[in-house]
């Protein structure tokens, strides 16, 4: 790391690759330690899922993001979750797979405390959700100063988490990203929206040093176009169910950059993107509830009803709802298993 002109050491972005915003697994209804108000963590399933992901080529884990139901966890549980998965990855020989810890608070001091505790628990990066409580009254200058205040004191490199869907539609303009990208401790962003022109204005901006600031799409359904405009990869929910599918598209795109692009390559990448888009419809409709439902039904991993209120219980009409998705997910499972047999990822 180099020393920036501000005097602060220039932080490095996380390694390029596909990351997963992992679901947090809780004890299922009917289990011996189940509590309907606050079911305990199911760390056994959590570890099984983490290893399933990295064995499928996932570069690292985002723990305690929106998919991780971070707002429902107590500080002790946050630290236990991070430390258990850091140990599980290290013990399995995956010390090179970073953990990015999410924060979702409005208060700067509380955000900094979470980042500090996350580092102590084993995280290497912090993904900081924008403060959206007063979204209608917040200026772009206010957003900039809030993130700069966090990044100035944060003990981990910061990625900006821009997700209007959970922040009262708070908008961060591309011009604001250009200013924030110059901060030596802000190393990238996860853009969880489909505004492709804004994504282009950030990922392709000549006023951003893209060696120091990485743009990740939060939507796997946008992966191929975002790679084409200068984004580095995705932090994607569907990859939590079918890691090899999403990793394969990422790898194919980067392989074509070195060997040269052919019409066959374009056709294969379009087919993969199409398959990903079909699966992402479930994630877009049901979020973490859909991810957990799919993990349980496709791989027997976790419980379809293992959440915390108000998300506990899974689909309201489970079998009828899953019947709308089962054909698509059976096809995606076949593709995933085919890629596993080929052994190119992992």
Catalytic residues: 161, 190
**C-alpha distances in Å from residue 25, one per residue of 42, 71, 299:** 5, 14, 14
Going by C-alpha positions, the residue among 109, 81, 105, 85 that lies closest to residue 95 is 85
Full DSSP string of 169-222: T----HHHHHHHTTSTTEEEEEE-S--HHHHHHHHT-TTS-TTT-EEEES-GGG
Strand partners, 3: 9
Using alpha carbons, select from 269, 174, 161, 259 the residue that is nearest to residue 217.
Answer: 161
The string of DSSP letters for 222-238 reads GHHHHHHTT--EEB-SG
From first CA to last CA, the distance across the chain in angstroms is 28
Task: Report whether 311 contacts 224 (CB < 8 A).
Answer: no
From the list 236, 231, 233, the residue with the least C-alpha distance to 219 is 236
Cβ 322 vs Cβ 287: under 8 Å: no
Gyration radius from the chain CA atoms: 19
Other CB atoms within 10 Å distance of the CB of residue 145? 12
Residue pair 135/167 in contact (Cβ under 8 Å)? The answer is yes
Please state, in angstroms and rounded to a whole number, the distance separating the CA atoms of residues 205 and 197: 11
| Tokens encoding 165 | 């869907």
């Amino acid at each position: 790391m180099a020393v920036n002109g501000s005097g602060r050491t220039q932080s490095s972005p996380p390694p390029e690759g596909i990351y997963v915003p992992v679901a947090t697994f809780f004890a299922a209804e009917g289990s011996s330690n189940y509590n309907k108000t606050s079911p305990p963590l199911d760390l056994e399933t959590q570890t099984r899922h983490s290893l399933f992901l990295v064995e499928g080529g996932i570069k690292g884990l985002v723990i305690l993001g929106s998919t991780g139901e971070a707002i429902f966890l107590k500080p002790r549980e946050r630290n236990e979750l991070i430390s258990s998965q850091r140990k599980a990855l290290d013990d399995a020989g995956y010390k090179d797979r970073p953990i990015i810890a999410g924060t979702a608070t409005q208060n700067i001091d509380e955000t900094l405390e979470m980042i500090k505790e996350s580092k102590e628990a084993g995280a290497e990066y912090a993904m900081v959700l924008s403060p959206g409580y007063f979204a209608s009254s917040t200026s772009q200058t206010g957003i900039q100063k809030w993130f700069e205040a966090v990044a100035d004191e944060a003990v981990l490199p910061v990625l900006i988490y821009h997700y209007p869907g959970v922040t009262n539609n708070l908008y961060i303009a591309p011009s604001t990203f250009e200013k924030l990208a110059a901060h030596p401790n802000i190393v990238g962003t996860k853009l969880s929206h489909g505004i492709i022109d804004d994504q282009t204005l950030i990922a392709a901006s000549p006023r951003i040093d893209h060696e120091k600031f990485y743009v990740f799409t939060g939507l796997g359904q946008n992966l191929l176009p975002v790679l084409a405009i200068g984004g580095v990869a995705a932090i994607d929910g569907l990859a939590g169910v079918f890691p090899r599918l999403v990793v394969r598209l990422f790898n194919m795109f980067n392989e074509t950059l070195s060997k040269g692009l052919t019409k066959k390559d374009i056709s294969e990448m379009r087919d993969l993107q199409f398959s990903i888009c079909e699966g992402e419809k479930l994630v877009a409709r049901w979020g973490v509830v859909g991810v957990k439902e799919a993990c349980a039904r496709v791989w027997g991993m976790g419980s379809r009803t293992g959440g915390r209120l108000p998300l506990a219980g899974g689909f309201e009409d489970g079998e009828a709802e899953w019947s709308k998705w089962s054909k698509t997910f059976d096809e995606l499972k076949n593709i995933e298993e085919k890629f596993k047999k080929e052994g190119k990822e992992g």
